[in-house]
Structure 1
């Protein structure tokens, strides 16, 4: 994993989240691109020609980062022009080949109905890049145990597993594979890709109505530092993010969630 992308919205990220992301980039030895969207105003608006919105946006990002220790981390400030994150990130990905996008969910406020808002949910759903959702105010600790929940062991493109492979290697993490057999489970789902098999340290199967229910059932006994799932066509998580935003009633994670994107 060479590149991590952190989009900054209008709401300032918590210091705990930024520290987690910086430490992750340090351990993975990845370049961290920190970005905000900007839009050049029409010159007819009377603004002086010397005003460079891109530079101003870069200064805003640098001010936010100045409160943190970034020594030994390759941090790149990257304002992106536009008003749509998916489009802007897509264009940047074509030039830079992003390996991971880091997102943060909505507050844990009980009055907040959504786990992921429209922007974060849209980036998760509509980009090709793997996504890591870091819960609000989640304290950083080394990743020693990863719980991977799947229905099918088939992986069509071995590159899909690259983020998980890098995290396992850098942290020397234990990967526990939980195969959840739902009512629409097919015999071919029991076939495991060799590239996935070589990453797995332990395996367990269970029968549940949905992948999410099986995941919840086995969280306490595994106590993972990270959860890993696939986002596949017609899969549970694909349906979950159908409308971009994700309601807490449907899904919520208090543990960092790695979502691998499989192209089919």
Structure 2
């Protein structure tokens, strides 16, 4: 089945590298890649005529940049399974992304985070956190700026969960797909912060995950005597895992996984790509 992938770009080398990463990730999959650029006119006090001129100039610059990307892709002679569409919008990034999702039924959004790590913070301190919070009904794959090459084998996706709520199958389809594309395994991580056995409901939710993951390789793991954030970091580092998958429910960004007691509990900067699963309608 064809996949529809949305990739926002600001015409930097990092945005280009994100696109190239997506092409390699989906090299065996028929895909349409929607390349999105948002623009705005410079903010200044001027006559309405000048504002319109500046807006037209910004639009032209956006469209020119998107055409250069298409030229670069043609030069690379990319996979014939891949198609490309460009979108230029005079909107905020989250609004433009939501429009693309609703119009084109996007399956996944790819973005790159600035800095060595993927910076995810529920306090809206960066663009990644803001758009992943605001944009609905589509998972994200957020890449660190300094990407490391994947090993040829033993690839792992760490999936932390409290087992306190049941996952719908459609909520984890992106994780299952990613596992298949990467020829990877899912490591379901439960961090026991209070030393209590799983409740009946948690046990049932654990069994539901078994059903969802029946077609891929997976295993359950447990850590004790640590916080959720520290436990996830330690688990990834100790196993040299390659990906992290996090689930966001609509009532709050990672609220079930990272309680908002102190700021450090929700600052999350892994050095691996992060697949952000969303609660889908």
Name the TM-score class by shorter chain. Answer: 0.7 to 0.9
The answer (yes or no) to whether the contact 1:125–1:242 under 8 Å persists in 2 is no
- Give, in angstroms, the shift of residue 104 of structure 1: 1.3
Secondary structure at the aligned position of 1:78 is classed as strand
Instruction: After superposing the two structures, state which structure 1 stretch, 36-45 or 159-168, moved more.
Output: 36-45
Indicate the residue corresponding to 2:202 in structure 1: 189
Indicate the residue corresponding to 1:105 in structure 2: 113
- Give, in angstroms, the shift of residue 160 of structure 1: 0.8
Indicate the residue corresponding to 1:61 in structure 2: 66
| 1:203 and 2:229 matched | no
Distance 1:256 1:23 in 2: 15
Indicate the residue corresponding to 1:31 in structure 2: 32
The alignment of Structure 1 onto Structure 2 pairs a total of residues equal to: 257
- Cα deviations across residues 104-134 of structure 1 (Å, max 9, x unaligned)? 112239xxxx935632221111112111111
Indicate the residue corresponding to 2:231 in structure 1: 214
Indicate the residue corresponding to 1:174 in structure 2: 185
The answer (yes or no) to whether the contact 1:38–1:79 under 8 Å persists in 2 is no
Structure 2 residue aligned with 1:121, among 121, 125, 129? 129
| TM-score, with length taken from structure 1 | 0.78
Instruction: After superposing the two structures, state which structure 1 stretch, 149-158 or 169-178, moved more.
Output: 149-158
- Give, in angstroms, the shift of residue 70 of structure 1: 5.4
Structure 2 residue aligned with 1:165, among 158, 176, 179? 176
- Cα deviations across residues 9-43 of structure 1 (Å, max 9, x unaligned)? 37542654443222123244332211101358998
| TM-score, with length taken from structure 2 | 0.74
- Give, in angstroms, the shift of residue 84 of structure 1: 1.0
Distance 1:247 1:19 in 2: 33
- Give, in angstroms, the shift of residue 146 of structure 1: 1.5
Indicate the residue corresponding to 2:144 in structure 1: 135
The answer (yes or no) to whether the contact 2:258–2:265 under 8 Å persists in 1 is no
Distance 2:19 2:27 in 1: 12
Distance 2:239 2:10 in 1: 33
- Give, in angstroms, the shift of residue 147 of structure 1: 1.7
Q: 1:90 to 1:17 in 2, by over 3 A?
A: closer
The answer (yes or no) to whether the contact 2:63–2:88 under 8 Å persists in 1 is no
Distance 2:252 2:266 in 1: 18
- Give, in angstroms, the shift of residue 236 of structure 1: 7.1
Q: 1:103 to 1:247 in 2, by over 3 A?
A: farther
- Cα deviations across residues 201-222 of structure 1 (Å, max 9, x unaligned)? 2211122553222211212332
Task: Give the gaps of 5 or more residues in structure 2.
Answer: none
Distance 1:208 1:189 in 2: 19
The answer (yes or no) to whether the contact 1:168–1:174 under 8 Å persists in 2 is yes
Larger radius of gyration: 2
The answer (yes or no) to whether the contact 1:20–1:139 under 8 Å persists in 2 is no
Indicate the residue corresponding to 1:85 in structure 2: 93
